Amino acid sequence: MVQGQLTWWQLSDLHWPAHPSTELKRYIDNLLQHLRKSMAVSGRPNFTVFTGDIAFSGQSKEYDSVGEHLIAPLRELLGNDVPLLFVPGNHDMDRAEALIKQSRLVTDLTDPAAVDAFVGNPRNRANFADPFRSYSDFVAQWGPTGTDDAYRWTHTITAAGHKVTVLGLNSAWAGFYHTTDAPTESDRGRLLLSIDQTPKPGEDADFTLFAQHHPFEWLNEDICDPAVQSLRRNYQVGLFGHVHSPRELGQLSSPHSTVLRIPSMLLFGRPHGDDSARYPRGYSVGAIDVTTSECRVRYFKYDSVYSDSFKEFTDVYSDDGKSPTAVLKPRRHGGGDCALDRDGTALSVRRHVASDRPTAQTGAGAHRL
């Protein structure tokens, strides 16, 4: 662990099969070797977070396999005092189990109060957690106590004398119950979060982060707005998966809130069929200097062509090749937002991520790093 810093490793979208290929095993060996070397230089992270799609189809045999080939060696590498945190993605849902549910109980939810009442009902809550049973069993084995809850959890970490609250959310629980002519897009704009899933952190938390698989634009905007606004008001950093690309790294700002959005690369699975700059395989490292409140994000891409190793993915950084940074204010002293200028607008961050795409469609006030 680095003195004076809160650091984490973010891995996402493994899509792990029950029977891993030789290529996947070799890839994981190279990843673990790279992490071991990185740790020798930079120290251990304060936590590691997996932002969803750990398994390919939410089956217990897939979790048994990823536990054996990745999680157990990672636990041995990091030691028992570095928490492994997990949130589920759409691939962590057992769809055979979801098929027997009454989908209209979800699809008929049309307003925030209805969603809150639904999730607050113990019978509904247990019923629609069933498709994540294998996921929760896996997390109960490898994660901190209490983080196996199928809807949300909160975990507290102390780093360099500062209290850090991490919130984990299930953004996939209402997925799969909608059908459209484009199955791959059937969840977009339809997923649900309840207010119950977005509790306000304690006033004594110096830094606040949340992790969920889906970016905000995959949620039902009208129904989920209260939950999203709660996250944006009370949390400084959001860690996301699902998009398989780092290019939407940036600040989401409004006159009343700012959250630093950190998307993850695809760790493995290659559903796009290549290792392009748009959908690279790899992971990210985040760090917050607890003295200056500067947050830095670094991305590492797997080079399968020349070296079978991980190298810093500077292609997505600005022209100067330096990793992006943003300044956060400790909540205890500044209310939990990024630094603001006199009219309440988020100050420009110090680096920009190179992009060939327009600003993410996350509403007015979206800024890139």
Domain ranges of the chain: 5-293+304-368
Residue type, 298: R
**b/e per residue 68-102 (b: at least 16 CB within 10 A):** ebbbebbeeebeeebbbbbbbbbbbbbeeebeeee
Contact 34, 191 (CB under 8 A): no
Gyration radius of the chain's alpha carbons: 19
Q: Is the pTM of this model over 0.85?
A: yes
Contact present, 234 and 201 (Cβ < 8 Å): yes
Q: What angle do CA 286, 194, 46 make, to 5 degrees?
A: 20
Contact 110, 223 (CB under 8 A): yes
Domain 5-293+304-368 has CATH 3.60.21.10: yes
325/323 Cα distance (integer angstroms): 7
Cα dihedral 136, 138, 143, 149 in deg (nearest 10): 0
Q: Give me the pLDDT at residue 255, please.
A: 65
Q: Quick check: 109 and 192 in contact, CB under 8 A?
A: yes
Averages of pLDDT over runs of 10 residues in the chain (369 residues) are 88 95 92 95 95 96 98 97 97 94 93 96 96 98 97 96 96 86 71 95 94 96 95 94 85 74 82 59 94 93 79 81 80 44 35 39 35
> Which residue has 């099969």 as its token pair?
17
